[in-house]
């Protein structure tokens, strides 16, 4: 059974720092991996989608990498801003079904 | 509308009541998912529709849960005889094509509280 783990569970850093969020998964038979952002009381916003054949994706200050063989992904946020404060979740789509399997998220606080 | 719309935003039900949660996906989106999210956890898959066909309902926790999408657009998640453990946020998501190749667009969810 696929398990997705995110470390750390919470992170607080000063504004302007570069930071890395980690995601690991136990079953490498994934179709893609996605990173989402969730603001309190809101739904989820898709940030980046990496297909299993890709190594990384970039969008603005965000860069996500995927190492499928080792079961790891990282989300790199450059020059963090207070508006980046949110919970960041990673999720994997399995090859075999229609289910996104989610991590529990990393709660990020950027201090002004 | 511009995004996925869910209603009601909040629902309080007494234990044993039936509830119906509605999802209006983005117009023309083929794929529709329902997820259940407990406080402090990631979402858990409930069911998947491709147009009007329910292709995967393996995540529905019991036979008290039922979902439909009869015309391939609006979807309803129905929970019969609600229990306290059903309290959660129920999220709906849609995507323009099949489930694997395009990002999901989520609604803001329905927060269900069973008392």
CA distance B64 to chain A (A): 21
Mean pLDDT of A83-110: 92
pLDDT for the residue numbered B1:
52
pLDDT tens, position by position, A11-70: 999 999 999 999 999 999 999 999 999 998 778 999 999 999 999 999 999 999 999 999
pLDDT for the residue numbered B40:
85
Verify whether the Cβ–Cβ distance A32 to B105 is below 8 Å. no
pLDDT tens, position by position, B54-107: 999 999 999 999 999 999 999 999 999 999 999 999 999 999 987 777 788 999
Verify whether the Cβ–Cβ distance B106 to A89 is below 8 Å. no
Partner-chain residue, chosen from A44, A45, A93, that has the shortest CB–CB distance to B99: A93
| Closest alpha carbon within chain B to A32 | B100
Question: Could you give the CA distance from residue B38 to residue B42 in angstroms, rounded to a whole number?
Answer: 7
Spatial CB neighbours of B31, under 8 Å, sequence gap ≥ 6: B48, B49, B50, B94, B95, B96, B97, B98, B99
Is residue B13 pLDDT above 80, yes or no? yes
Average pLDDT, chain B: 94
């Amino acid at each position: 059974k696929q398990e997705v783990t995110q470390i750390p569970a919470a992170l607080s850093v000063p504004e302007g720092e570069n930071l890395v969020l980690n995601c690991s998964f136990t079953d490498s038979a994934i179709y893609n991996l996605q990173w989402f952002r969730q603001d309190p009381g809101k739904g989820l916003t898709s940030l980046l989608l990496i297909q299993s054949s890709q190594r990384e994706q970039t969008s603005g200050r965000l860069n996500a990498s995927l190492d499928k063989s080792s079961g790891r992904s990282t989300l790199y946020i450059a020059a963090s801003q207070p508006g980046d404060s949110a919970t960041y979740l990673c999720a994997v789509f399995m090859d075999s079904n229609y289910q996104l399997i989610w991590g529990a998220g990393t709660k990020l606080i950027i201090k002004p | 509308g511009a995004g996925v719309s869910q209603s009601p935003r909040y629902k309080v039900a007494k234990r044993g009541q039936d509830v119906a949660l509605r999802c209006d996906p983005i117009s023309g989106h083929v794929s529709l998912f329902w997820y259940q999210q407990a406080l402090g956890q990631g979402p858990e898959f409930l069911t998947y529709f491709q147009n009007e066909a329910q292709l995967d309902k393996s995540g529905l926790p019991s036979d008290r849960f039922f979902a439909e999408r009869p015309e391939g657009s609006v979807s309803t998640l129905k929970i019969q005889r609600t229990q306290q453990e059903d309290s959660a946020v129920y999220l709906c998501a849609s995507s323009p094509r099949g489930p694997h190749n395009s990002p999901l667009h989520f609604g803001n969810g329905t927060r269900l509280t069973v008392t």
